[in-house]
Amino acid sequence: MMNKDKEISRDQKLVKRAKACEVVSSGYCPLNCDYCYIPKTPEMKRMHEEIVEKLKTGEWIDQLEELYHDIDHLSFWGTEPLLVLDEITRHIDELVERFGDLEMVTFSTSLCVDPSSIVRLKDKLDEHGIGLDWQLSADGHYTDENRIEGATKRIKSNLIELGKMLDEGELTVKWKGTISIDNIRKMAEDTKEIERYMKYYEEIQEEVEEVTDGIEFNQKSRCPTLVVPGKYTSKDGKVFANYLRNMIESGYSTTYTHRLKRVMRFKHDLEEKPSMFTCSGGDSNFGMDDGRVHVCHRTFYHERKNYIDSVKKQERYDNWDVSLFEDGILKMEVENYIVGADDVVRFQYIMRNFHDHWMLKLDQTKAMLVEMARCGQAEEVYMEDELLRELFALFLHTSHSCPVENLLNTGVVHFMPVSMVRLWCNGAFQELLKTVGGN
């Protein structure tokens, strides 16, 4: 336990606005998802062992107390949290003693390993009146293709096993679907693929409910999100537009419609409360790995030299994102956006610029739109319609507000990757606008 007599300067802590933390909790995953941004190497098992040792000692709670005034939301990130949930559960009593305002614990899992640790964590959280909010990652009928053969079978059996250990309706499943451009292409070409995607979740729900009533299902969480940032071309953008059109004509909403409607509903808050519309990373929420502060979980592992070296030594890259490990952006990120307690003031000042100001990022995106339209990578309407450019830029920087992805792809937290602009400016945004007419 931390020495209570230790003097901790207010300047060495995050501001009181920071009430949520993502804690690195694992370094190994039994899956190898096509789109995962974490490059897989043999070094991950050793890295995982180091992380688990930190969890066992409870040192991570000391580190939280050194950085935070208090916490109400705590989430566990890395690779597969079910591998370590029992270690976390053993420290919940101490965690609550230190952070009396804790309200919610969250994590996301593939549910392809033993699920019993979820029940043990839930039981311990129930003792303290703390909620558990979790997501189950599955990509519709593309799950086995995207993740690992047999994943769907494991998900079904583990959900049934989990439900049998619970009383009626004790846990609610929130689906977390991520689809690749290849999956999108199939749904853009054939609306039956959309029905198959949605039917996938219905069939799992029916099979589970036939056996147990311990699990409930969130019906609104089935809509997928697209892999981001990706390396999207103008052609991909046209495919994405067809996909959105098919989804809408098939009677399904999308997460992007909700994001655009939110901007329109709270448009009067855009100027006075811009951080309402940006990612919480580097604002009310931060990541923490071994006592070091991150914008969010996205930069976990980037300071671990042995792991980074193992990525660079790969003969072939399974994930395009590892190309970032070869240039100066990663070095710049580690030096400036992953900090200790002695540098949190500078770090938060930088991030406040991202969360509190619109002009630079919106103007850069609007200028990019014009240039892309001139060279045939965006629809020509963006050269002519200033209001459309404004709305497009605003939508992009609210619906895809990720400072880390911006940083890793452009070197600047404010600037959107050109790939993301290209994805939306070839018909997709216009399709989205049709869904919010009159709102």
The range of the structural domain enclosing residue 245 comes to 228-270+358-434
329 pLDDT exceeds 90?
A: no
Domain for residue 365, yes or no? yes
- What totals of helices (H) and strands (E) does the chain contain, helices first? 20, 11
User: How is residue 49 written in tokens?
Assistant: 């062992």
Domain for residue 335, yes or no? no
413 pLDDT exceeds 50?
A: yes
439 pLDDT exceeds 80?
A: no
Average pLDDT over residues 244-251: 94
Average pLDDT across the chain, whole number: 91
371-383 pLDDT tens trace? 999 999 999 999 9
Number of structural domains in the chain: 1
Average pLDDT over residues 341-368: 95
Q: What is the pLDDT of residue 355?
A: 96
406: left (phi over 0), alpha (psi -120 to 50) or beta: alpha
Q: How confident is the model at residue 244 (pLDDT cuts 50, 70, 90)?
A: very high
User: How is residue 362 written in tokens?
Assistant: 């919106």
Domain for residue 122, yes or no? no
Q: What is the pLDDT of residue 4?
A: 45
For 76, list phi and psi in degrees, rounded to 5.
-120, 125
Q: Round to whole Å and give the CA distance between 132 and 108.
A: 11
Q: How confident is the model at residue 230 (pLDDT cuts 50, 70, 90)?
A: confident
Q: What is the pLDDT of residue 99?
A: 96
Domain for residue 108, yes or no? no
Q: Round to whole Å and give the CA distance between 438 and 383.
A: 25
Contact indicator for 245, 431 with CB cutoff of 8 Å: yes
Q: What is the pLDDT of residue 11?
A: 64
Q: For residue 277, what are the CA distances in angstroms to 183, 259, 268, 273, 400?
A: 28, 9, 12, 8, 10
Domain for residue 29, yes or no? no
Return the exposure string of 303-330: e unless at least 16 CB atoms fall within 10 Å of the residue's CB, then b: bbeebbebbeeeeeeebebbebbeeebb
185 pLDDT exceeds 70?
A: yes
Average pLDDT over residues 12-26: 94
Domain for residue 257, yes or no? yes
Average pLDDT over residues 259-265: 91
Q: What is the pLDDT of residue 5?
A: 43
Q: What is the pLDDT of residue 137?
A: 95
Using CB atoms within 10 Å of the CB of residue 387, give its burial: 0 to 12 exposed, 13 to 18 middle, 19+ buried: exposed
Reduced to 3 states, what is the DSSP secondary structure of residue 192? helix
Q: Round to whole Å and give the CA distance between 296 and 281.
A: 5
Domain for residue 132, yes or no? no
Domain for residue 427, yes or no? yes
